[in-house]
Amino acid sequence: MSKEEISFEFVWIPTDYWSKGNDPAGVLFHKWLPDGEKDAICLIDQGNIKLHVLFERRGFLDKDEIKYSDEKKEELKENVIRRHAKLESGPLFIKLVYPIGLNDEKKIIGRDVESKTAKYDKLNDYDDLGKNIYKLIYSKLSVLVYTLKYKFGQFWIEDFPSLDSTSQSLGSYFSGLQAKCIIKGKKYRFLPNSPIVFLVSKISKDDEFLKFITEDNWRSLQKKEFIKENTGREYLVKSYDSYINNDLRNAFLEGCIALELVISNLFVKFCQEKLDSFFDMPRKVQLCIVANLVLPDLTESIITNSCKAIDIRNSIMHKGYVPNSRDSKYYIDLINVVIKLLRDGEIKLPNKHLGQIIWTK
């Protein structure tokens, strides 16, 4: 079956572009900005498949300050750009030419019509095409973004998003990239299947709100003296903050540092001396020894998962492994072990992203 070369367009926002918090609106340039197609980077040019990425000079001058709050304004002229030491790129535009069959064309057009009513028919799904295009753009864009972050120091931009099938469909993924395809001069939404987000929540009970400071907690502080100890608490909290901000890499790294500090303090305390032979042992062996001394009631599965978390930390450090949502269960058991080993009564790790609940009475 013959295939026609079709143009696809995607838009990726590297940072919180429109709200403009503390991070820049995209990549930072000096006295110059890429100007659309003529300054595009070619990632693939192989026969009938072409992939280019580019930035457009979107923004406008307001009292000698460049602003990006109106995406329709494109008023950045060369003389304005050359006078500014720091310039923000805005969104990254992704252009793809890819051959598709007539059947997929019909499905794309049919799906676009469905998207206006949000009533999706599985007969119009084109999963295979969606998967192929995802693999193509992700394989190239993830490397480009990695280069921008870790060679050119643009560390505030997000990693290029990967598809996590446990939390979203292909349709939802491409919807996030504002995906369009152009067939016979007309633009259609590119939604390989229904744009569904699977709400896999870490929060299952109202009890999670009890992790905030309660009146009883405050009253207890009135009766205590405060001691600052280097027992791993700081890294435990930093680790959990990384976790709830979806930074699993640092969550594992900081969580294992917290575990190391807790183990070291406990072993010295119980043995009354620092035995070099113990600290030469692998971290997983140390954990098993200390847990047996201090927490003999810990289940085998929690110990096993904590050891797996240590393996993940080692893979991150030495192999460049990128943890994903499936690794979360190992992280949760790791920090639960750290909390138990701290032997400090109640330790709270609240989720600052929880929404509000207002009781009627």
Express each pLDDT in 207-236 by its tens digit.
677 777 877 877 777 676 666 665 678 888
Q: Is residue 40 part of a domain?
A: yes
Least confident of 50-54, 57-61, 168-172, 349-353: 57-61
Structure tokens at 248: 């699993």
Report residue 80's pLDDT band, with 50, 70 and 90 as the boundaries: confident
Q: What is the pLDDT of residues 273-286, one digit of tens each?
A: 556 555 556 666 66
Contacts of 236 (CB under 8 A, 6+ apart): 254, 255, 258, 335, 338, 339, 342, 347, 349
Which pLDDT belongs to residue 278?
57
pTM of the model: 0.61
CA 111 to CA 190: how far, in whole Å? 8
Q: Does residue 104 sit in the same domain as residue 227?
A: no
Asked, for residue 84, whether it belongs to a domain, the answer is: yes
Q: Are 126 and 110 in contact (CB under 8 A)?
A: no
Q: Does an H or E element contain 238, and which? A: helix 233-244
SS3 of residue 159 by DSSP: coil
- The answer to whether 182 touches 5, Cβ cutoff 8 Å, is no
Indicate the pLDDT class of residue 20, thresholds 50, 70 and 90: very low
Domain identity same for 213 and 169: no
CA distance 188 to 7: 11
Residues 24 and 79 in one domain: yes
Q: What is the mean pLDDT of residues 298-305?
A: 80
Total domains, the chain: 2
pLDDT beyond 60 at 125: yes
153 with 226, same domain: the answer is no
Q: Are residues 23 and 168 in the same domain?
A: yes
Buried b vs exposed e over 253-275: b needs ≥16 C-beta within 10 Å? bbbbbbbbbbbbbbbeeeeeeee
Structure tokens at 338: 């750290």
Tell me, what's the pLDDT at 274?
A: 54
Domain span at 8: 3-189
In a domain, 234, yes or no: yes
CB 76 within 8 A of CB 67: no
Same domain, 83 and 174: yes
240, 155: one domain: no
Burial class (CB within 10 angstroms; exposed 0-12, middle 13-18, buried 19+) of 340:
middle
Taking residues 122-147, report their average pLDDT.
92
The more confidently predicted of residues 355 and 40 is 40
pLDDT given at position 78: 81
The one-letter amino acid at 229: E
Strand-pair partners of 98: 6
